[in-house]
Chains A and B, each alone.
Chain A
């Protein structure tokens, strides 16, 4: 009886494994930042067309591109979302595995908020001050050498800042938001600072990390707080001295609890982010595997819907969810390039927007 059951269930699995090939459901993977936007579009597609709702998985930008580039077969994803550009390394991996016809779509901007509890006085920092607050090693007082970050109060960094303890709740290492923060606040500045780069020049192998220094301090001042941004928001109200780093959409949704600090004198607002004035913001992307379009007919419809004005436009649905629209001219430019399914090349991904 038992043996019969066992063999039967094993047989059933064997039979099932044969019927895997065909599918009409789009498979989407990638960034957790783009995930809410992509799933919203997926839901709209499922609700308003004859196609089934695409499956949207949140794997992180890097994880998504890895799956996307794993091969051209139908068991690989059709589209991957990313909160950063595809890297040359990833493009080469794609090419190596036979994924050669890829189109890039930019959907809008995501600001990174540096925020505090609403009950505090408004706060304003510069990018430089932020760097000095979070980097593991900072220039010494005379500016000639690097020392382990000694700052515990904002006033020690700059006497114009309040005498307030530095404590920052931010995303952990696995997060795309953290990558972007490191890129814009740390790497972007340290690669131009003599005191860091001179170390790299002295020994290019051993001091490779100092070429674009991006190490965040681990002495308890910067507290990695998990991928869940809601958690950081609620922590800010428990500890009023603290600051949090999270996506703009969480700032917009929790305006009664938190306020964004001005960075370089600019408040995080949709207008300032869209115009590029607010210094910590990034573009959001998705990548299309064109070779799948003929086998998964819903793909074209999905891309068309995503790039439509009703979604990514000024008053689009995704705008309500916290996506910041691209400026008109750029948006139209991207739309036509996506419509033509322009191929991603090594040059195109190294170009700036």
Chain B
């Protein structure tokens, strides 16, 4: 049968199929562009950050005596002073105080090396005076220089000596801040959503509220910082830079996200569940508390975790409440001055010393790991407790 005879023959078919294919390729190329961006970013961070896993140490003889107790620069041979980290040296007098039996002894100790020595060992650009470089090369020859696992990065806070700086205090600060944020935003957000979905009359008033809440979710976060400054610091007198103020500010920011996602979760619970409850003579509170909320819970959790992850990556509002600061000690309560991980990364990125480049990248990797685990947790929770209707 020829084409002309076929009653179903569509002369534009070929063209339509071509359009179909082109559209498919267009979407694929969009996907690959975003994947390439992601790969470049991650690759760059991993290349720059991976060297921070190790840190250089030098084995030197430390003499613990009266002289070195007074001035830590006397504790090691003079020619080694410039090769060692000042931050490690200045701990010697404190060590002697805590352990008096050291007095009068000499010991071979692995001491933290200066950041320039570390840069040299990692084959980056370094600035070491030729005399010191000679000493260093001799030490390397005696295999008294070694790269070890960088425990300091995970057990110390910020420092102005790059080799001694770590992310611990920022991590503790982030945890405290998020605990405060969630303790406030979660109950208030869920309760708001329950009211709007279950109790309000869906009239003009609740429409007005809905528009405002959606609008709030889209407000630039820096405005929440200004609000936090005005209310929590200036009005309530909470301490500046504290996890409490930061957490409350972030709570304001996550609140609309939690309300919106909780409402969606509550709405997805079929009306038949509620009707069955009322049919059995349950009160509204019983229906919501015992039936609707438990069923909506996975959805609420997913929304809250995503809100949490967003709050974790936030810096703009925290600048205003004073959390972008130099805080090396880990905060022990929510009233203490604290900083957060993205703030720490921001601070390191602006430092002149080259050694901070790898710290910045390593900090980003740690932050990304935590974010990915949080998001993965949200997916797992949803998969596990999801109910299909």
- A348 close to chain B: CB less than 8 A: no
Chain A residues, Cβ within 8 Å of B328? 43, 46, 53
Complex Cα–Cα for A317 and B85 (A): 12
A2–B240 touching, CB < 8 Å: no
- A194 close to chain B: CB less than 8 A: no
Complex Cα–Cα for A255 and B127 (A): 9
- Which A-chain residue is minimally distant from B339 (CB atoms)? A55
Cβ distance B261 to chain A, nearest Cβ, rounded Å: 16
Select which of B244, B326, B335, B349 is within 8 A of A39 by beta carbon.
Answer: B326
CB 8 Å contact bits of B4-41 with A (1 = contact, 0 = none): 00000000000000000000000000000000000000
Select which of A20, A23, A43, A254 is within 8 A of B238 by beta carbon.
Answer: A20
Chain A residues, Cβ within 8 Å of B241? 27, 55, 57
Chain A residues, Cβ within 8 Å of B76? none
Complex Cα–Cα for A188 and B350 (A): 29
- Supposing A2-B187, A43-B159, A58-B324 touch, asked if A227 and B350 sit within 8 A by C-beta, the answer is yes
- Which B-chain residue is minimally distant from A246 (CB atoms)? B352
Chain A residues, Cβ within 8 Å of B208? none
- Which A-chain residue is minimally distant from B190 (CB atoms)? A2
- Which A-chain residue is minimally distant from B328 (CB atoms)? A53
Chain B residues, Cβ within 8 Å of A48? 90, 93-94
Please, how many residues of chain A have a CB less than 8 angstroms from a CB on the other chain? Answer: 51
Chain B residues, Cβ within 8 Å of A57? 241, 322, 324-326
Complex Cα–Cα for A250 and B76 (A): 31
Contacts A43-B326, A58-B324, A58-B325 known; list 10 others, CB within 8 Å: A20-B238, A23-B239, A36-B160, A40-B160, A48-B90, A55-B241, A56-B325, A229-B352, A254-B352, A255-B127
10 closest A-B pairs by CB:
A39-B326, A57-B325, A40-B160, A56-B326, A253-B352, A55-B337, A5-B187, A6-B187, A249-B352, A250-B352
**Partner-A contacts on B (CB < 8 A):** 86-87, 90-91, 93-94, 125, 127, 159-161, 183-184, 187-188, 190-191, 194, 233, 236-241, 244, 248, 289, 322, 324-329, 334-335, 337, 347, 349-354
**Partner-B contacts on A (CB < 8 A):** 1-3, 5-6, 9, 12-13, 16-17, 19-20, 23, 25, 27, 29, 32, 35-36, 38-40, 42-44, 46-48, 52-53, 55-59, 75, 227-230, 247, 249-250, 252-256, 317, 321-322
